[in-house]
A and B are shown apart, each in its own frame.
Chain A
Amino acid sequence: MRSAPVRSIDLGARRSWRTTQSALMSAAMVAAVVLVAIPLVAVLWSVFARGAGIVVRAFPAFFTQTIPMISRKAGPGMGPAIVGTVLVTGGATLVAVPVGVLGAVYLHEYGGSGSFARLVRFMATVMTGVPSIVMGLFIYLVWTMNFGYSAFGGALALACLMLPIVIGSTEQMLRLVPASLREASYALGATRSRTIVAIVLPAALPGIISGVLLAIARAAGETAPLMFAVGAATAYNPRLFHEANTSLSLQIFGNATSAFPAAQDRAWGAALTLVLFTFLITLIARVFTARLALKRSS
């Protein structure tokens, strides 16, 4: 083939309204990112700046010792609150995840666009918008009035908050599983239930897990629904169903609103602990989903 006759071509950049416009838009986007980042960085900075000193000065006592009964007394720790947070969020996860995932499987695989499924889906969406304190009040009436303060009451309140998130994200993930995989399974003689258990759920698992962990991280920081249900303990209470308990978020609220500087310091320490706790959950989620993705592609 003979090449086309050479003409003089200028490939150099030219200034025009188009390039100016592009530069302006890029600048606007960078500015937006900076605006978003400022409050995030400020929150983390103040929590670390004020909390790190408290935690480091009494390390590891801050994480292990009980909470002082007299709140104006300076000193560690937050041990019972950490145990309480793990109990409450763990209990909430145990309640919300099986119910939520199974509910989403029903909605997507069986309910389809039927009127019952549509109603449930609508209610789940509405539930996402219910203020968390209303959930706390509801659990107070239904559970705490009958069985007294316990970590489980708080777990139930948090489960109510997590449920719509888990249902929503799981259904979304099930929708992403390609129809061709289901068809392949059906074509081998698999029943619908077998296809869901052996093909659809494993394919959607990484997405389901990250949705669940996101819900846990969100629930771990909730305060309002726990105030009615968990009570206020200062000693270790590892029992899920008995006696008043406490949590990091409750301790932050209680100590930060106290008049004594020592208590306010403890609140900053608890805030840092809670940030680290949710960070840890997110990190685990990332590592876990990355592992799963790796296993798939290898």
Chain B
Amino acid sequence: MLSPVIPFASPLPRPRGQLTPGDPAGAFPLPAGQAVGVPTPRDFASLVDPTGEAPRPTEQAVTVPTPRDFASLVDRKAAVPLPDTPVVFDCEDVEVYYGAFRAVRGVTLGIREHQITAFIGPSGCGKTTMLRTLNRMHDVIPGARVAGRVSYHGIDLYAPEVSAPEVRRRIGMVFQKPNPFPKSIYDNIAFGPRINGIRRKAELDAVVEKSLRAAALWDEVRDRLKHSALGLSGGQQQRLCIARTIAVEPEVVLMDEPCSALDPIATARIEELMRELKSLYTIVIVTHNMQQAARVSDRTAFFTTEIDAQRDRRTGILVEYDATSKIFSAPSDERTENYITGRFG
């Protein structure tokens, strides 16, 4: 999708026979008033060389966008104050280790019910690691360890008497790459209900239809439920994975960059789906796409990396966590502002 206009620090080498810089005929036409405001398709038009002869824009020609670029996307939310729904996850000073390597440290945040919480930040900042902490997906990785307290509706998720499979049944997860089972579409959806003891065919049929409808996939696959799920397109596969997740009726849906492998149309459908599912579930989404976070989320947590001098390794930290409208219009931390304006990251 749209990305912030990138200042061309070093202009690309010019083809031979081009106009010299400063020549008014070759000057890059920058429409006034476009530097600030909603990114429209025109933003891209301005990046495309209209004549094939004009020199590439230079640094002086492009203004660095301000945080206001995103404000327009979240303004409508800012008008209505965020409701203080009950806290689902309460993380206190969470640290995650892979062996001796500390991937994240000192994360304290509360995730609220029936809201979409987005985790954003540069690569390696621990967004995904934090997400996987929320449904105990680290248990299956040898050497991974969680310290600190993660409570779910007041229950310590990492208490010895808590069963990880039960946690994961209540807290579902959609992965970055669509990962349907090499089975039929029907069996993909029915797998979860089956392991939870639903055996009767009529009941399974109903769950399959309901889940596929909720994931806006039913009309596309109703005639080929018995066909392999691997024959679906990438966007359909990802919606199938969402349908599979909600088939077990979870309370929370965690999404790990669910649109990174999809085209803009499929992304739009999944974002639409997230907004619809919000009334039923609590959603936490990790995304690299800031516009996506601004468009869909209610609250945003910005993570970044910090060099751990003692161990000489990078550790992820939580910088700022607030209402999305605030993060994208008036972030209180300079690092957040630098990141969302594209000056860093």
**A interface vs B, CB < 8 Å?**
1-2, 4, 112, 178, 180-192, 194, 198-199, 202-203, 295-298
User: With A and B bound together, what is the CA distance between A185 and B245 in angstroms?
Assistant: 10
User: With A and B bound together, what is the CA distance between A195 and B230 in angstroms?
Assistant: 19
10 A-B residue contacts at CB 8 Å? A180-B179, A181-B182, A183-B140, A183-B175, A184-B180, A188-B169, A189-B165, A189-B248, A190-B195, A191-B165
User: With A and B bound together, what is the CA distance between A296 and B241 in angstroms?
Assistant: 18
Within 8 A of A (CB), among B155-185: 165-166, 168-170, 172-173, 175, 177, 179-183
Please state if A189 and B179 are interface contacts (CB–CB under 8 Å): no
User: With A and B bound together, what is the CA distance between A188 and B231 in angstroms?
Assistant: 22
Q: Chain B binding site: helix, strand, loop or mixed by DSSP?
A: mixed
Please state if B231 and A189 are interface contacts (CB–CB under 8 Å): no
Interface residue? B232 (CB, 8 A)? no
Please state if A186 and B179 are interface contacts (CB–CB under 8 Å): no
Please state if B168 and A189 are interface contacts (CB–CB under 8 Å): yes
Residues on the A chain within 8 Å of B137, using CB: 183, 186-187
Interface residue? B142 (CB, 8 A)? yes
Interface residue? B108 (CB, 8 A)? no
Please state if B175 and A184 are interface contacts (CB–CB under 8 Å): yes
Q: A188's contact among B15, B177, B195, B227, by CB below 8 Å, is which?
A: B195
Please encode chain B, from 190 to 232, with 1 for each CB lying within 8 Å of some chain A CB and 0 for all others.
0110011000000000000000000000000000000110110
Please state if A181 and B245 are interface contacts (CB–CB under 8 Å): no
Please state if B195 and A186 are interface contacts (CB–CB under 8 Å): no
Please state if A182 and B228 are interface contacts (CB–CB under 8 Å): no
Residues on the A chain within 8 Å of B183, using CB: 202
Residues on the A chain within 8 Å of B244, using CB: 184, 188
Task: Give A89 Cβ to nearest chain B Cβ, in Å.
Answer: 31
Task: Give A179 Cβ to nearest chain B Cβ, in Å.
Answer: 9
Please state if B245 and A297 are interface contacts (CB–CB under 8 Å): no
Q: Which 3 A-B pairs have the closest CB atoms?
A: A189-B169, A187-B173, A180-B179
- Can you name 8 extra interface pairs (CB under 8 A) apart from A186-B165, A194-B195? A4-B15, A183-B140, A183-B175, A189-B170, A189-B195, A199-B181, A203-B182, A297-B231
Please state if A187 and B165 are interface contacts (CB–CB under 8 Å): no
Please state if A188 and B179 are interface contacts (CB–CB under 8 Å): no
Please state if A190 and B165 are interface contacts (CB–CB under 8 Å): yes
Please state if A186 and B230 are interface contacts (CB–CB under 8 Å): no
User: With A and B bound together, what is the CA distance between A178 and B244 in angstroms?
Assistant: 18
Please state if B166 and A181 are interface contacts (CB–CB under 8 Å): no
Interface residue? B52 (CB, 8 A)? yes
Most chain B CB neighbours (cut-off 10 Å) among A192, A203, A296: A296
Interface residue? B135 (CB, 8 A)? yes
Residues on the B chain within 8 Å of A298, using CB: 227-228, 231
Please state if B168 and A297 are interface contacts (CB–CB under 8 Å): no
Q: B191's contact among A185, A192, A297, by CB below 8 Å, is which?
A: A185
Q: A184's contact among B169, B179, B196, by CB below 8 Å, is which?
A: B179
User: With A and B bound together, what is the CA distance between A180 and B137 in angstroms?
Assistant: 12
User: With A and B bound together, what is the CA distance between A158 and B135 in angstroms?
Assistant: 47
User: With A and B bound together, what is the CA distance between A296 and B195 in angstroms?
Assistant: 22
Please state if B195 and A198 are interface contacts (CB–CB under 8 Å): yes
Residues on the A chain within 8 Å of B169, using CB: 188-189
User: With A and B bound together, what is the CA distance between A182 and B192 in angstroms?
Assistant: 13
Residues on the A chain within 8 Å of B52, using CB: 1-2
